[in-house]
Amino acid sequence: MTILHTEEMGVIGGQSLRVLEDLKIIRELGHHPILACKGANWIAREARKLEIEVIDLPFKSRTDLFTAKEIFKLIRRRQIDIVHTHSSIDSYLATYPAKLLGKRVVRSRHSELSKAPGHIYRIVDAIVTTGEKVAEQFKVSNIKKPKIVSIPSYPDERHFSPEPSRRQRMRLDLGFDDSTLLLGAMTGTAKAKGVDLLLEAFAALSPGYPNLQLLLAGNIDQSALESLMQQAHRHRIAEKILFLGHTDARDFLEALDLYICPSRKEGVPQALMQAMMMGKPCVSTDVGSIAELNAENNLPLVPSEDTHALTEVLQTLINDPQYRLKLGEKNRLLSKKYFSRSVMKERMADLYESLGAKYA
């Protein structure tokens, strides 16, 4: 089969990374992937590095007739079997041409619904969500015709595996030995990521634990960084926080003793699953579909924006090294069994094959 993915956003982030993984999986399954996107975007550059065919289209708005016509011609010329869309604008511009040509259409939803699903979701052949909670939102909205399937973006177990020697090297590179307890989070600028909440909890803990250090990785813009630094200075914890910026996820996670996801809003966060796969004890807010990762009481969850509850759970883990080890090992084993890329690949294969079989 030839499967066309469309993505009008294409900036660096979880959604774009998931699109790239879908494209790689298509190729691994023996099919031909094509990506239609804005040619100058980050996702286009990364797809070309992977030697995936990229079609440069403007995707200006939902009424961009030029792009819609080009997609129509592309589907007909290249005999596309399945069209898989990801964002609002590209879904409008690709779904209607595909349906006019009698092609199967998949619409991915990468976050929770903020309003009732529109017409596009009702005419596609399948909806892929990043968690069961989002899938339930569609079912409550009385969308019955499409096949709604939850396929979270699980990490690659071949890449995210514990390596003690790398752990020691990373800690030394950062200037820490084993006497320091490193807490960390991979985050970004958006308020939804809850970095301010984590700083509040860390400020409450810090006076009682002089060996604590907080590491924050990810792209944070200058204004947000200044605001967070002001917060840290107010609480007199600035010297105990390192903002590392964009860094290799595996190296960052390897150095940590405890991973924290303080988000106000999420789907199923990649960094949290990566930390679990690397055998790290983790704490998270109970938002989005994160509760699905708590398969066997392996992931302590706290209510969103409840910094007191977050502080208490962190204190329990800090005080009990054996409990941390137990949670970390349980996370590693459960991730390999239930939350790995091989599981995601199998589910994507089933979806595409079921849609492809409808042509026969």
Question: What is the average pLDDT score of the chain?
Answer: 94
Phi, psi angle pair for 68, to nearest 5° = -60, -45
> Residue 23 and residue 274: Cα distance in Å, rounded?
20
> Residue 243 and residue 324: Cα distance in Å, rounded?
24
Asked whether residue 304 carries a pLDDT value surpassing 80, the answer given is yes
**Site of tokens 């040619």:** 39
Task: Give the pair of three-digit tokens for residue 339.
Answer: 């939350």
Which has the closest alpha carbon to 5: 18, 16, 19, 17?
A: 19
Q: In the predicted model, what is the mean pLDDT of residues 15-26?
A: 96
Q: In the predicted model, what is the mean pLDDT of residues 21-32?
A: 98
What pLDDT, on a 0 to 100 scale, did the predictor assign at position 360? 43
Q: In the predicted model, what is the mean pLDDT of residues 113-120?
A: 89
Handedness of CA 190, 193, 195, 197 (dihedral sign): positive
Q: In the predicted model, what is the mean pLDDT of residues 324-353?
A: 95
> Residue 143 and residue 147: Cα distance in Å, rounded?
9
> Residue 112 and residue 33: Cα distance in Å, rounded?
27
CATH topology of domain 2-153+341-357: Rossmann fold (3.40.50)
Which has the closest alpha carbon to 274: 180, 175, 352, 160?
A: 160
Asked whether residue 265 carries a pLDDT value surpassing 90, the answer given is no
Give the residue extent of every domain in the chain.
2-153+341-357, 164-338
> Residue 239 and residue 223: Cα distance in Å, rounded?
19
What pLDDT, on a 0 to 100 scale, did the predictor assign at position 114? 83
**Site of tokens 């999986």:** 25
Which has the closest alpha carbon to 287: 303, 310, 300, 299?
A: 303
- Intrachain domains 2-153+341-357 and 164-338 with the same fold: yes
> Residue 268 and residue 265: Cα distance in Å, rounded?
10
What pLDDT, on a 0 to 100 scale, did the predictor assign at position 208? 95
Q: Are 286 and 220 in contact (CB under 8 A)?
A: no
Write the pLDDT tens digit of every residue in 174-189.
999 999 999 999 987 6
Residue 332: band (very low, low, confident or very high) from pLDDT cuts 50, 70, 90: very high
CATH 3.40.50.2300 corresponds to the domain 164-338? no
Asked whether residue 10 carries a pLDDT value surpassing 90, the answer given is no
pTM for the complete prediction? 0.82
β-strand pairing of 258-261 with 82-85: unpaired
Asked whether residue 283 carries a pLDDT value surpassing 80, the answer given is yes
Asked whether residue 292 carries a pLDDT value surpassing 60, the answer given is yes
Please report, for residues 126, 143, 173, 177, the alpha-carbon distance to residue 137 in angstroms, rounded to integers and kept in the order given: 15, 9, 45, 46
What pLDDT, on a 0 to 100 scale, did the predictor assign at position 130? 87
What pLDDT, on a 0 to 100 scale, did the predictor assign at position 196? 94
Which DSSP string do the residues of 194-225 spell out, in sequence order? Answer: -HHHHHHHHHHHGGG-TTEEEEEES---HHHH
What pLDDT, on a 0 to 100 scale, did the predictor assign at position 358? 59
Write the pLDDT tens digit of every residue in 144-170.
767 899 999 999 988 998 988 889 899
List the end-to-end C-alpha distance of the chain, in Å, as a whole number: 12
Write the pLDDT tens digit of every residue in 347-359.
999 999 999 865 4
Q: In the predicted model, what is the mean pLDDT of residues 226-235?
A: 92
What pLDDT, on a 0 to 100 scale, did the predictor assign at position 333? 95
Helix (H) or strand (E) holding 324: helix 321-338
Looking at the chain, the whole-number percentage of residues with pLDDT higher than 70 is 98
Task: Give the pair of three-digit tokens for residue 306.
Answer: 């409840």
Chain centroid to Cα 188, Å, comes to 12
Which DSSP string do the residues of 99-116 spell out, in sequence order? Answer: HHTT-EEEEEE-S--SS-
